[in-house]
Chain A
Amino acid sequence: MTINKPAKCGTLESNDIFVMLTPSENGISIELESVVEKQFGNHIKMVIEEKLKDMGITSVLVKAQDKGALDYTIKARIEGAVKRGC
C-alpha cells in the first residue's frame, strides 16, 4: 500500500493521539510530540513504525501529537489515517 494523499486521524484529547500522514519518498519518518516523551517516546515511535510496516507502508512522513495514548489507540489512529490516505 502507498499513501497517495495527506490524511489525518485522531484528536488532541487526553489519552488520544493525533496523526497526520504525508506521502513521501524517503522511507518512514516520524516526528513525535508527546506528553510522555521521556517515559514512552521511543516506544511510541516503534509502535507507529511497526503498524505502518504491518500495513505494507514503506514510505511516509508521520507527524504525531500524542496526549498519552495507549498502544491500541496509536495502532487504531495510524490504521485510520493510512486507510484515509490510500
Chain B
Amino acid sequence: MKLRRTMLFMPGNNPGMLQTADTFGADSVIFDLEDAVALTEKDAARILVTEAMRTMNYGETEVVIRINPLSSPFAMTDIDKMARLKPDAILLPKATPEDMEILKKELERIEKEEGFESGTIKVHALVETAYGVETVYETIKSSNRIQAVLLGGEDLAADLAVKRTKDSEELFYARTKVVNACKALKVDAIDTPFTDTNDYEGLAGDSRKAKMLGFSGKLAINPRQIDTIHEVYSPTKQEINNALRVMAAKEEAEKEGLGVFSLDGKMVDLPIINRAIQTLEIAEMIGLLD
C-alpha cells in the first residue's frame, strides 16, 4: 500500500524546486509539465525534468510527472520522453477512457522498446471534466496501470459552468462518484487542491470533508499545506489505540475459538477489523507506531 496523504505540485521548469522536491515531506511530488510551464518553455521543462530525474535521488518520495493533455501538441513527445525515465507514475490530465486507450498503447510500445517489464509504468488519472467524472469507472477499468485518481476541482467547476467555492458543495457529486469508482476498483482517491494558501483552517476543514467522503489524500499546491493535510489524513492517537485494542481483542477471541466478539459492548465484525488493520498499516508507515 502506498501512502499518498499529500501530492505536491512542483513546476517542471524550476530548478530550485526540482532539486529540493523531497525536502517538503510530501508523500508524492508531481513534476508539472502542464499548467505550471509556459507554452514556449515546454521543451525546456521536459529536458530539465529529464536531467533532474537522472541526477537527483528523491528517496522514499513518489515521483509523478504530469504530462500535457492528449489534445495538446505536446503530449506525445511528453509521453515518449518521460516514460523512458521510469517515473513512479505518469499523471494524465483531463483523463477519459478514450485518452487512456491512447496512453496505454504508447506506454506498452515504450516499455517494449526500452526492455521494461510490461506494466511497469503506472498511471494516475486526473479527472477534471464533466465527461471525465461520468466515465471515471471506465477510465480506471481500462488499465491495471492506474493506481490513483486525482480530482481537479478548478477545471471541473469551469466545465460545469459553476462558481468554485471554499465549501466545495459544487463538487459533491464529482467527489462521491470518483470515490465510489476508486473503491470499487481498489485504487486511491485523491482530493482536489485547496487554493487559498493562507487559510489553514479552511484547508483542514476541506481535507476533513474529503476524508469523510472516502478520499485518502489531497493535492497540495504549496509546501506550507503539507503539515495541515497530513494531520487530517493521519490516524489520531485515539484511532490507533482503538485499532490496537480491536486487534488484541481479535487475538483473544481466536485463542478461545470464538468467531465473533465484542468490544466496548459493540460487535466487532470484518469491516471493523479491516479498518483497524488499515489504520495500523498507515500508522506504521508514518512511524506513529512505537
Contacts and interface: CB of A to CB of B under 8 A. Distances in A.
Do A and B have CB atoms closer than 8 angstroms in the complex?
yes
Interface of A: 9-11, 13-16, 69-73, 75-77, 79-80, 83-84
B43 A70 contact: no
A15 B13 CA distance: 11
Contacts of A83: 43, 47
Chain B contact patch, size range = 10 to 19
Nearest to B20: A15
A70 B14 CA distance: 12
B16 A76 contact: no
B43 A73 contact: no
A71 B16 contact: no
A43 to B, nearest CB: 15
A15 B56 CA distance: 15
B198 interface: no
Contacts of B15: 13, 15-16, 69-70, 73
14 contacts: A15-B19, A16-B15, A16-B16, A69-B15, A70-B19, A70-B55, A72-B51, A73-B15, A73-B19, A73-B48, A73-B51, A76-B50, A77-B44, A83-B43
Given A70-B15, A73-B15, A84 B43 contact: yes
B52 interface: yes
Contact of A14 (B16, B51, B52, B55): B16
Nearest to A82: B47
A70 B250 CA distance: 55
A28 to B, nearest CB: 20
A72 to B, nearest CB: 4
Given A16-B15, A69-B15, A73-B48, A80 B54 contact: no
Contacts of A9: 44
Interface string B247-266: 00000000000000000000
A75 B51 contact: yes
A77 B52 CA distance: 12
B44 A10 contact: yes
Interface string B1-25: 0000000000001111001000000
A75 B13 CA distance: 14
Contacts of A10: 44
A29 to B, nearest CB: 23
Interface in B48-93: 48, 50-52, 54-56
B43 A71 contact: no
Contacts of B54: 72
Nearest to B14: A13
A72 B43 contact: no
Contacts of B52: 72, 76
B47 A80 contact: yes
A67 to B, nearest CB: 9
Nearest to A70: B19
The 6 tightest CB contacts between A and B, nearest first, are A15-B16, A72-B55, A76-B51, A72-B51, A80-B44, A73-B15
A30 B52 CA distance: 24
B90 to A, nearest CB: 20
Nearest to B19: A70
Contacts of B48: 73, 76-77, 80
A76 B16 CA distance: 14
B54 to A, nearest CB: 7
Contacts of A72: 19, 51-52, 54-56
